Structure 1
């Protein structure tokens, strides 16, 4: 197995929530572009994009936002995280990141990789009770494969299914952009999230 570390950005194939007056498709792509830029700036990792429930058109749409050579592929929407992890290539660990964290500090991804030295899963909890990122140690543990966690899986569900105390490691929490209230968490003084910023300005 390769010792390379992979981060895979998981993007829904269609627009979901968007702020009032904003096009859901444009909003989805802006979030995905900014989150990709965060991940692409990380050292010592390879980055890929998985389109959950995607087709050729949606894959091409996301590929247009990436640097040359970035793998972009469709995955099963019902098992998007584990399908993405399986497709990125041999690795001791893979971190899957939700598309809606355009201001995610790269340091949080590194913390997940470190935790996967002993845990089956390592997660970044989101403030709304969901997950912003999910790290998976390979080969995938049987209970993880059976549960097939995604970004809407709660910490309570993980606790219920984990076979031992330290099977799931918790990284520092963050926030996803899933409601109007979440917009207030963005720090205008921080560099980055330019596409999201442009959408919020209406340009």
Structure 2
């Protein structure tokens, strides 16, 4: 929850970005728990665990592009999210790859290209699969890489000099 809160705070701080929180496979209790961490009026909803990115895109409503960010990147700089939005001016999909081969963030241009609808990418989709399936050279834009916090060993990746990740930092301090 601390990582999700910090990730939300980074995104909520971006200019000209409307934020929503998608709970993958969540029930009403999980949605309510995350909703309590957001600013009033922030949409919070459950998304299909088999197609979380595309389901979040559907629920986002009218937009030029949607970027989904994994909850386990509490120290992801907002600049990297902004780079995804910019890349979507020419690409069907833009990603921030994670060091473990997964994706820290996935941006999709609307309307969603057929090949992306067929693939149904998630934050666990390997970048190599996107590259193998892209129909043209610039269909996939790859931003700078980052790391996800998926194990205790990953905690060493958190940079104490970076701003943000206050809830995660506080939780670790008291652990």
- Bin the TM-score by the shorter chain: over 0.9
In structure 2, the gaps of 5 or more residues are none
Please state whether the residue corresponding to 1:45 is helix, strand or coil: coil
Query: Aligned-pair distance for 1:190?
Result: 2.4
Deviates more, 1:193-202 or 1:102-111: 193-202
1:111 aligned partner:
83
Structure (1 or 2) with the greater strand fraction: 1
For the residue of structure 2 that corresponds to 1:51, the secondary structure is strand
Deviation of 1:197 (Å): 1.0
Q: How many residues align?
A: 175
SS at match of 2:95: strand
Counterpart residue number, 2:49? 77
Task: Compute the displacement of 1:39 (Å).
Answer: 0.5
- The equivalent residue for 1:30 is 2
Unaligned runs of 5+ in 1: 1-28
Mean Cα deviation higher: 137-146 or 174-183: 174-183
TM-score under structure 2 length normalisation: 0.97
Picking from 49, 56, 66, the partner of 1:94 is 66
The Cα shift of 1:202 comes to 2.6
Scaled by the length of structure 1, what TM-score is found?
Answer: 0.84
Within 5 A, what are the aligned runs for 1:106-185? Answer: 106-185=78-157
CA distance in 2, matches of 1:152, 1:163: 21
Structure 1 residue 117: Cα displacement: 0.6
Aligned to 1:202: 174
Moved over 2 A (4+): none
Which residue number in structure 1 is paired with residue 20 of structure 2?
48
Query: C-alpha separation between the residues in 2 aligned to 1:100 and 1:49?
Result: 13
Distance 1:167 1:154 in 2: 16
**Distance (Å, rounded) in 1 between the aligned partners of 2:33 and 2:5:** 11
CA distance in 2, matches of 1:119, 1:72: 27
